[in-house]
Amino acid sequence: MPKPERKDDVRYTYRDYVAWDGPERWELIQGVPYMLASPSPLHQQIVLQLGAEFALYLRGKSCQAYVAPMDLCFDEDEGTMDVVQPDLFIMCPPFQADRRVVGIPVLVVEVLSPSTAAHDTIRKMLLYERAGVPEYWIVEPEERVVHVYRANGGTLRWNTSNRVGDRISPVAFPDLSVDVGILFDT
């Protein structure tokens, strides 16, 4: 199937998404396709460090950490119009994981890039809010800060901004304490 076109009146589904040709990575938000940029080395180092923290913590537990590129859908309908590839997300039962992960993550983390900052801080945050994600972290590599948003009354609201020297504990895992400094020591 040919690559998607951005048109105001065209909406795509997961079924369309899996049929697209080419090496590009895409996301669908309300059926609108967004091509993902290639991440920088710093971006990938941050994802790797954070992924390692969660992988070690979750070893032997029922929850799982996933890193991009991994398709996340919030429902199992093949006609869903939301498919994203968060930089990192944590799933706890119940969820499905076969060719894609289906369910609501307990935590989503996006590491900003200059070309994706607005997408991650506006479009994707609104999508995560609609889906019922309880916690969303936005990592700003240039500022060396992690902004934590937590669900409050169905809305993701800013909770804290954490810098080198601070530690963060996700709501779902209060006994895990992530040292913000390790994310930026590359």
**Could you give the angle at the alpha carbon of 92 between the alpha carbons of 133 and 176, nearest 5°?**
85
Q: What is the pLDDT of residue 6?
A: 63
Encode the chain (186 residues) as per-residue pLDDT tens digits: 556 766 567 899 999 999 998 888 999 999 999 998 889 999 999 999 999 999 999 999 999 999 999 999 999 998 889 999 999 999 999 999 998 999 999 999 999 988 888 889 999 999 999 999 999 999 999 999 999 999 999 999 999 999 999 999 999 999 999 999 999 985
Give the residue from 73, 74, 72, 6 showing the smallest Cα distance to 35.
Answer: 6
Question: What are the residue boundaries of the structural domains of the chain, listed by start?
Answer: 37-184
Q: What is the pLDDT of residue 139?
A: 97
Contact status, residue 24 vs residue 3, Cβ threshold 8 Å: yes
140, β-bridge pairs: 145
Total-model pTM: 0.93
Distance (Å, rounded) from C-alpha 46 to C-alpha 48? 5
Structure tokens at 21: 């040709």
Give the residue from 43, 103, 99, 91 showing the smallest Cα distance to 65.
Answer: 91
Q: What is the pLDDT of residue 16?
A: 93
**Could you give the angle at the alpha carbon of 70 between the alpha carbons of 43 and 148, nearest 5°?**
50
Give the residue from 178, 186, 172, 166 showing the smallest Cα distance to 56.
Answer: 178
| Homologous superfamily (CATH) for 37-184 | tt1808, chain A (3.90.1570.10)
Contact status, residue 136 vs residue 89, Cβ threshold 8 Å: no
Distance (Å, rounded) from C-alpha 159 to C-alpha 7? 36
